[in-house]
Amino acid sequence: MNQRDLELLSAYLDGQLKPSESAHLESRLNSDPQLASVLTDLRATRNLLRKLPARKAPRNFTLTRKMVGQNPPLPRAYPWFRLASALATLLLFFSFGVNTVGRQMASQAPAFGMGGGGGASEESTELFSAQEAPAAAPAAATEVPAETEAPILEMAPMPTQMSTEAADAARIVDTPVAKNAGETENAVTADQFQSPAPLVPSTWQIALAAIAVGGMLFMVLVRQISARRWK
């Protein structure tokens, strides 16, 4: 028996032959016992397969939302809030970064620095080291009140030459008496000038922070509400 006959018999078994092909095969089956025997075997095999007991699924294969990675539907405005919040955060960090760089640049400039808003405090601190002595010296010698320091300090653009003179003056009057006299005032002024002035955020920085925080809170809230509704 050849492959073609085998396919014909198999298809005949399943009723897949054309009527003419079936009639021709049936006449051959009547005259060829071997062919008929193969057909019987194929039929028995197919019946065995059909009799195989169908097993029940060992468990339900139903899916959960987690299994298919489904997330609760979010409002259409959600992506816009996310974008606004992200932009506000970025701008906020950027503005603080610019201020910090501005302060550093201002502190590096020797005098007349246009260091922007944040540069003032460091400038003052640096100048203080130079002006401390003249401020202390009059305190020891002439009992000039400490308030006189303020106008001096406010003269931010001090020439470099002056700071040298001031240092010399400090060395001259650096006696225990002078030290004792100026101690209290020095302590106060050092406290004032050694720590940099706090960075005060501008209105628009506060607004950016509010947008960033508000946006994040809104997103968390929307997610929770959506998840609750979805369940």
Partner 1 sequence: MNEQALIQDAQGGNLDAFNTLILHYQDSVFNTALRILGDEDQAADASQEAFISAFKSISSFRGGSFKGWLMRTVTNACYDELRRQKRRPTTPLEPDTEDGEEMDSPRWLADPNMTPDQKAEADEVEHAIQHCLNNLPLEFKTVVVMADIQGMDYTEVAASIRVPLGTIKSRLARARLRLRECLQGFAELLPASYRLEDGINVS
- 26 near partner 1, judged by CB under 8 A: no
- 11 near partner 1, judged by CB under 8 A: yes
Half-sphere exposure of 50 (CA within 13 A, CB side): 7
- Pick from 18, 20, 31, 49: which binds partner 1 (CB under 8 A)? 49
- Comparing CA positions, the residue from 93, 121, 96 lying closest to residue 107 is 121
Calpha distance 10→33 (Å, rounded): 16
Nearer to partner 1, 55 or 228 (CB): 55
Nearer to partner 1, 49 or 114 (CB): 49
Nearer to partner 1, 41 or 183 (CB): 41
Q: Can you tell me which residue has the tokens 């640049």? A: 105
Write the burial class of residue 42 (CB in 10 Å: 0-12 exposed, 13-18 middle, 19+ buried). Answer: middle
Q: Under rule CB under 8 A, which residues in 155-174 are in contact with partner 1?
A: none
Nearer to partner 1, 65 or 179 (CB): 65
Nearer to partner 1, 49 or 200 (CB): 49
- Alpha helix (H) ranges present in 72-202? 78-108, 120-141, 149-154, 160-172, 176-194
- 231 near partner 1, judged by CB under 8 A: no
Q: Under rule CB under 8 A, which residues in 181-200 are in contact with partner 1?
A: none
Calpha distance 123→108 (Å, rounded): 9
Calpha distance 89→201 (Å, rounded): 14
- 46 near partner 1, judged by CB under 8 A: yes
Total binding residues for partner 1 by CB under 8 A?
A: 38
- 65 near partner 1, judged by CB under 8 A: yes
Binding site for partner 1 (CB under 8 A): 1-3, 6-7, 9-11, 14, 16, 37-38, 40-42, 44-50, 52-63, 65, 67-68, 70
